[in-house]
Amino acid sequence: MDAPILTATSLSWAPQDSPERLVLAEVSLSLEPGEFVTVMGPSGSGKTTLLHLLGGLEEPTQGTVLLGGEDLFAKGTRRRTLLRRRFLGYVFQFFQLLPDLTVRENIVLPLLIAGKDPGLYLQEIKEVVDVLDLAHLLDRQPHGLSGGEMQRVGIARALAQRPPVLLCDEPTGNLSTKAGEETMQFFSRVRDRYGLSILLVTHNPRDAAFGDRVLFLRDGRLDPSHSLTGPGLNAAAVFSRLEELSI
């Protein structure tokens, strides 16, 4: 079996000005190649902080993150940036598209930031655009798109450099129920198409049920014994576990 592509061990985080107030406490998890893991928890449970630590956007108070087998925080900011560019794509709740750029320009922006020529990635970009049904939108700007369309652009942008891992922060939180369902189906589609790993945090049980495995975060703590997996995994099972945990 391949080693996990992302491993967190005993992650804790507290604000520097309130070191006694742990937002995350001793969180450990792993993400296997090709696995879709969802982390379920209410607002304020530490989900976004966890993603920031896993993505190297924030340094833990204690604990380690291994990305592709390498310690994300061991070799300085420059090495961390290179690891993030190589391994990670990000999808956000509020899309984070640049309003003055077209859909095409937003998608290729990560390549430009990394100093790469988008012209060398035309086939890869076309494939992502086709998978996400964006070909007819490439010359539009974000203000002319629906929420679901903007989030598909966000997913395409995250995939521009073909990272092996997507980190997704409440990606349907700003969408209608229908658009949210469609967006989650697109996540499943790109996972199957590219064999990438997805770690998605959400407070939505229906979204959580798209994962191969659902983890539950409560008050900054994650207990693996409460996780859900297997063929019986669906929204009803997630609701039931939430009731058991009083979340």
List the CATH number of the domain containing 20: 3.40.50.300
**Residue 42: what pLDDT?**
82
Tell me if 163 is assigned to some domain: yes
In the structure, what pLDDT confidence band is assigned to residue 43 with cuts at 50, 70 and 90?
Answer: confident
Residue 48 DSSP SS3 = helix
The per-residue pLDDT for range 46-89, each reduced to its tens digit, is: 899 999 999 999 999 999 999 999 999 998 888 999 899 899 99
Closest C-alpha among 31, 137, 56, 164 to residue 154: 137
Tell me if 211 is assigned to some domain: yes
Q: What is the CA radius of gyration of the chain?
A: 18
Work out the angle between the directed axes of helices 147-159 and 103-113 (0-180°, nearest 10). 30
Q: Is the pLDDT of residue 220 over 80?
A: yes
**Residue 1: what pLDDT?**
56
What does the pLDDT average to over 162-180? 93
Number of domains in the chain: 1
Tell me if 97 is assigned to some domain: yes
Strands of the 6-13 sheet, one edge to the other: 24-31, 6-13, 62-67, 70-71
Tell me if 101 is assigned to some domain: yes
**Residue 127: what pLDDT?**
93
Distance CA 40, CA 43 (A): 10
Q: What is the domain extent for residue 211?
A: 6-245
Tell me if 167 is assigned to some domain: yes
| 143, amino acid identity | H
Tell me if 98 is assigned to some domain: yes
Tell me if 1 is assigned to some domain: no
Q: Is the pLDDT of residue 245 over 70?
A: yes
Tell me if 100 is assigned to some domain: yes
Enter the pTM of the model: 0.93
**Residue 102: what pLDDT?**
96
Q: Is the pLDDT of residue 93 over 80?
A: yes
Residue 144 DSSP SS3 = helix
Distance CA 225, CA 198 (A): 21
**Residue 231: what pLDDT?**
81
**Residue 94: what pLDDT?**
84
